[in-house]
A = this chain, B = another copy of it.
Amino acid sequence: MLNFGRSFDVKVEKKSAEKMDATFEIMKDEMNSDEVGYYKLPANSKEIVNRVKNLKLVNFSQIVIIGIGGSSLGIKAVDQVLRAYSPNVKEILYLENSDPVSISMTLQKIKKEEALFFVISKSGATIETTSIFKTVLDYFEIDLFSTDTKRIFAITDEHSSLSHFAKNHNIEEFNIPANVGGRFSVLSAVGIVPLMIAGYDMPLVLKGAQDFAKSFFDENEYHLLEKAYYLSENSEKTPINVLFSYADGLENFTKWYVQLWAESLGKVNKHSKHVGLTPVGLIGSVDQHSFLQLIIEGTRDKTVTFIKVNDFENALSVPDITLFGIEKTDFINTQTFNTLINAQCDATMQSLIDSKVSTDIITLDKISSENIGALIMYYELLTSAVGSMTDINTYDQPGVELGKQILYKNLKKH
């Protein structure tokens, strides 16, 4: 169960209602025409789920993800938040960055005869991913013409270079639909296959996402359109959107949100204007000791969304101990940390409301596969709605091409 609350008002007058209705129709069209594919990923996931169920896997205790950006962030988000609640899930290791130090450290943790390697790249030729994959082949002396290939999985677009490679070596291959961008792909094979093999209940994650999408398109989540309207109407006054999650396990989720939001909403719009909402991911209570001062007293250019978990299903409490000299903190004795962290979330939100900062809050009754699926779908739908309202193409990323061209030119000169 997700609950939604907020401190800001959206006056639903004719103009705003028309804009929200138009956005809703655009999103429905994007879905029904299959122009944008993420909407239907959960509903269309049965085939992938069944394929994974029927895979004959060699022995393994480690999952190694070789991928970056949209090919790793979503997996890390789900993995981190559900891990504490999934005792029998296998270890997952990530090879993402082209940093030689972190690659070397991760390689040392991998045991070839215990590992399944997932090479994930939508285009099939991401420079970090192919370079690291070659390094893995070399380091573990993997023979591409032997049964070693049973340990390798490729997840990529149909007809991509990685797809050609996989077919050539009889490597198990899963495809990402062409109409699903990398940052919207966590509920495609990209997330389903490795997370399900690791032991997560992906059918439940997918169910949570599908139920939320259905509820939205059944016109039961009008608050989402109102929020998108508020954010887009105030995009010049409050161009920074803070996601303040009160749970350490949601740190990677906030990183996934940062990618989704930044890469989707930072665009030159249809009127040739640079527009964009800047995402900031924070973790409470830690960042009360860091970023909060800036939100309260700094330039009033931010909205803040809180995520709170009602029940962590963990009874750890502050022991009834009095420490000489520190008696003044005894008022928290015997309370659970669950109570403390949520009281901190409530107090911080109240202090922002009192300071006239626009806030909203998403409350999860607990950390569950379904709730995480719903949260993912909520943020994807919100991104689409804001993108439509700010007159941009939400689904491309032309701004990163220039850097790639310069990189290729410079490296080929070597």
Contacts and interface: CB of A to CB of B under 8 A. Distances in A.
A12 to B, nearest CB: 27
A55 interface: no
Interface stretch (A100-108, A222-230, A369-377): A100-108
B97 A285 contact: yes
Given A125-B326, A286-B68, A276 B294 contact: yes
B406 A347 contact: yes
B326 A130 contact: yes
Interface residues of A, number: 122
A21 interface: no
A155 interface: no
A118 to B, nearest CB: 16
Contacts of A411: 331-332, 335, 339-340, 343
A97 B263 contact: no
A310 interface: no
Contacts of A134: 318-319, 321, 323, 333
A385 interface: no
Interface string A56-82: 000000000000111001000000000
A318 to B, nearest CB: 5
A319 B137 contact: yes
State the main secondary structure of chain A at its contact with B: helix
A240 interface: yes
Number of copies: 2
B99 A247 contact: yes
Given A162-B325, A266-B294, A96 B131 contact: no
Interface in A132-189: 133-135, 137-138, 161-165, 168-169, 182-183
A229 to B, nearest CB: 19
Contacts of A102: 248-249
Nearest to A99: B248
Interface of A: 68-70, 73, 84, 96-105, 124-125, 127-128, 130-131, 133-135, 137-138, 161-165, 168-169, 182-183, 239-240, 246-249, 255, 258-259, 262-263, 265-268, 274-278, 280, 283-286, 288-302, 312, 314-316, 318-319, 321, 323-326, 328-329, 331-333, 335-341, 343-344, 346-348, 350-351, 354-355, 367, 397-400, 402-404, 406-408, 410-412, 414
25 contacts: A68-B286, A73-B290, A100-B314, A102-B249, A104-B316, A125-B328, A128-B285, A130-B323, A131-B318, A134-B323, A134-B333, A165-B323, A165-B324, A165-B325, A182-B289, A183-B290, A258-B290, A265-B294, A266-B294, A332-B411, A339-B414, A343-B410, A347-B404, A347-B410, A355-B402
